[in-house]
A and B are shown apart, each in its own frame.
Chain A
Amino acid sequence: GAGVSQTPSNKVTEKGKYVELRCDPISGHTALYWYRQSLGQGPEFLIYFQGTGAADDSGLPNDRFFAVRPEGSVSTLKIQRTERGDSAVYLCASSLFGQGPSTDTQYFGPGTRLTVL
Chain B
Amino acid sequence: AQTVTQSQPEMSVQEAETVTLSCTYDTSENNYYLFWYKQPPSRQMILVIRQEAYKQQNATENRFSVNFQKAAKSFSLKISDSQLGDTAMYFCAFMNRDDKIIFGKGTRLHILP
Contacts and interface: CB of A to CB of B under 8 A. Distances in A.
Given A45-B100, A91-B45, A110-B43, A100 B95 contact: yes
Contact of B99 (A40, A41, A98, A107): A98
Interface in B11-61: 33, 35, 37, 42-47, 50, 52
A48 B37 CA distance: 19
Interface in B60-113: 91, 93, 95, 97-106
Interface residues of B, number: 25
A42 B105 contact: yes
A89 B37 CA distance: 16
A106 interface: yes
Contact of A42 (B46, B47, B93, B95): B93
Contacts of B97: 100
A36 to B, nearest CB: 11
A45 B102 contact: yes
Interface in A82-102: 89, 91, 93, 98-102
Given A31-B99, A99-B99, A100-B99, 11 more contacts: A33-B100, A40-B105, A42-B91, A42-B104, A43-B45, A56-B99, A93-B45, A105-B50, A108-B45, A110-B42, A111-B43
Instruction: Return the 7 tightest CB-CB contacts between A and B, nearest first.
Output: A42-B103, A108-B45, A101-B33, A45-B100, A111-B43, A110-B44, A110-B43
